[in-house]
A and B are shown apart, each in its own frame.
Chain A
Amino acid sequence: MTTTDRLPAAAPAGRTAPRGTRRRASVRTAERRWGLLLAAPATLHTLLWIGVPIVVAFVLSFTAYDIIHTPEFAGLDNYATILGDGLFWRSVLHNVIIAAIGIPVSMFLALVLAVMLNRAVPGRGIFRVMVFLPHITATVAVAMIWLWIYNPSENGLLNIVLGVVGIGPLPFLTNPDLALGSVILVTIWQGIGLKMLIYLAALQGVDGQLYEAADLDGAGVVQKFRHVTVPMLRPATFFILITSLIGNFQTFDLIYILTEGGPANSTSVVTYRIYQTAFQEFRVGLANAQSVVLLLILVVLAFLSRRIVGGTDGD
């Protein structure tokens, strides 16, 4: 519609060239203006609600602040406190343990499931949904369900199952030796779905000819898995590892509902510790220093895992 309106005006006989240039220039101006305008809301919003808070967190980490009184400059006191804070480092250690056990196990299970689902299995879609459901469900709801499954009485589902083989009943979440393991089991269960999905997407990009070549070389199922599938999935593996590590250090809802960091702090994690420091002990300056340490840990992790897995193709 606009075409017929504008075209004659834009191209009057004889003066096409200068007119065209001018118009192109005005198009460029409009593009620049609209580009800025369209990008502005999201950019300003993230500057205000992510950029400013990061700076504030950094600044407050050098203060003593209890929310009620004005913050007072405290130099490196908070960082010194963190260095000597056994509970904080224990919480970091718990994150590391959850990651070190939970991530490899769920990645392996996810990979096996993805490879199985990558073939023409009847009911593929249903299997995929069932494996993925824990990821889509709110962690609060997930934690409530497992709280009931882990019920220490003979009526907890897990104790019913263990009762069949004559074990238990076990106090999964109230025994300091069992609690962290119980938490890890839930993270594995909830973590498989997304990892499987990413592996599945990556598998669909693997060239089928590679398998045919391996077949010709007489490779067995296990050999093909080790020498074709695993190397081809390296970028996906890196991606899953890094996002799982970052996700792991953000575990909060699960701990809040399942154990509140207990018993005897045996399941406290970094985010839960920060939450307690800020919103239960009101040591806001210290909590911000802890947040800065969390951020540093994540940066180091991102760097390290890039080294370990050897990075993606882009390296």
Chain B
Amino acid sequence: MATDTLSPRTPAAPAARPPRSTSLRRQKRLASGGVLAVLIIASLLMAAPFLWMALSSIRDPTELAKVPMPLIPQDLRLENYTEALSRAPFGIYARNSLILATAAAVLNVVFGSACGYALAKMRFPLAPAVFGWMVACIMIPFYATVIPVFLMVRHMPLFGGNTILGAGGTGWIDTWWALIVPGAISPFMVFLFRQFYVATPTELIEAARLDGVSEFGIYTRIVTPLIKPGLLTVALLSFEAGWNNFLWPLLVTTSDSLRVIQVGISSFRQEAATDWHLLMAGTTLAAVPMIILFLVFQRYFVEGFAASGIK
């Protein structure tokens, strides 16, 4: 593998100067070895915290008090997980996160692709304004609007005991509406979809129009199937954002039955205090689903992240 880089150059260095060629090759090989060593060390350093999490989650709690604590746990204690599950309803938390993340993925794919397609391929009034607005929205951080969004949710008319003017009750606070609706469509996903659609051939659309296919049919049956990888990318990125979301669910949910897993971990921290074997078991439960999803769909994640830059 490492010598592959050499092959185009070797014929250029003829047998007339063999000593230089071999020393060069040795140098290159040494350099490759060095690179490999640095990469191994760097990636182990990057992975060490996860390893530590996993090891701690199966550690016997008595080891945690030992000084010095053995780096490798003496035995594998999966009971930590059952104990963590019995101390906090992680199953419900995970289910809630799954619902939230799935809703985010579906809504972004449906409405994000519709808008992205229109912006990329259709001429309609206000199109430049809509595009400019979406780009501007990407620049606006959620933290700059979170308080008004919270107030809007709390004063949602006719919900949660509110009057038609939005006063008197708690509105959408502590409901699925609050969790899902305000963040349902991300302007960034619209932008990403537009990029995917721009790359599709316009001639296809024109041909379909000549054939009398309806505009909606062209969008759903002709062009969208061409960007299937893009659909998956957006679905995965939206799912990830939903699963990892913390501040918003923290603000708008109060009951255990609506708590998502990241907020659940945070509240479990108060409950389990210094029981690090349980805390790490809970953290593993919150982290592992995303890690697995990433490992399976790496390619699509990478494509989306390379275009995003913002977590």
Contacts and interface: CB of A to CB of B under 8 A. Distances in A.
Interface of A: 2-3, 5-7, 10, 27-28, 30-36, 38-39, 41-43, 45-47, 49-54, 56-57, 60, 67, 109, 113, 116-117, 119-123, 125-127, 129-142, 144-146, 148-149, 151, 154-155, 157, 160, 163, 189, 192-194, 197-198, 200-201, 221, 239-240, 243-244, 246-247, 249-250, 252-253, 256-257, 270-271, 274-275, 278-279, 284, 287-288, 291-292, 294-295, 298, 302
B122 A31 contact: yes
A42 B187 CA distance: 8
Given A3-B212, A39-B114, A41-B114, A138 B184 contact: no
B310 interface: yes
Contacts of A5: 212
A194 B301 CA distance: 11
B144 A292 contact: yes
The DSSP consensus for interface residues of chain A is: helix
Interface in B23-41: 31-32, 35-36, 38-40
Nearest to A157: B52
Given A121-B1, A122-B36, A148 B280 contact: yes
Given A57-B144, A240-B309, A117 B39 contact: yes
A41 B212 contact: no
Given A197-B305, A274-B143, A39 B130 contact: yes
A51 B67 CA distance: 56
Contact of A38 (B56, B71, B115): B115
Nearest to B264: A140
Contact of B71 (A30, A36, A160): A160
Contact of B53 (A135, A148, A287): A148
Given A113-B39, A149-B49, A291-B144, A41 B244 contact: no
A31 B219 CA distance: 11
B39 A291 contact: no
Contacts of A288: 147-148
Contacts of B298: 125, 129
| Interface residues on chain B, size class | 35 or more
A6 B212 contact: yes
B137 A46 contact: yes
A204 B143 CA distance: 35
Contact of A52 (B53, B126, B148, B243): B148
B213 interface: yes
B174 interface: no
Interface string B198-235: 00000000000101111110010000000000000000
B105 interface: no
A134 B209 CA distance: 47
B2 A53 contact: no
A155 B47 contact: no
B2 A120 contact: yes
The winner among B31, B211, B251, B280 for most chain A CB atoms within 10 A is B211
Contacts of A134: 46, 49
B186 to A, nearest CB: 9
B118 interface: yes
Contacts of A275: 247
Contacts of A10: 212
Given A38-B118, A60-B148, A6 B211 contact: yes
A53 B246 CA distance: 20
B236 to A, nearest CB: 10
A19 B219 CA distance: 25
A116 B38 contact: yes
Contact of B143 (A119, A126, A294): A294
A140 B67 contact: no
Pick from B112, B215, B280 the residue with the most CB of A within 10 Å. B215
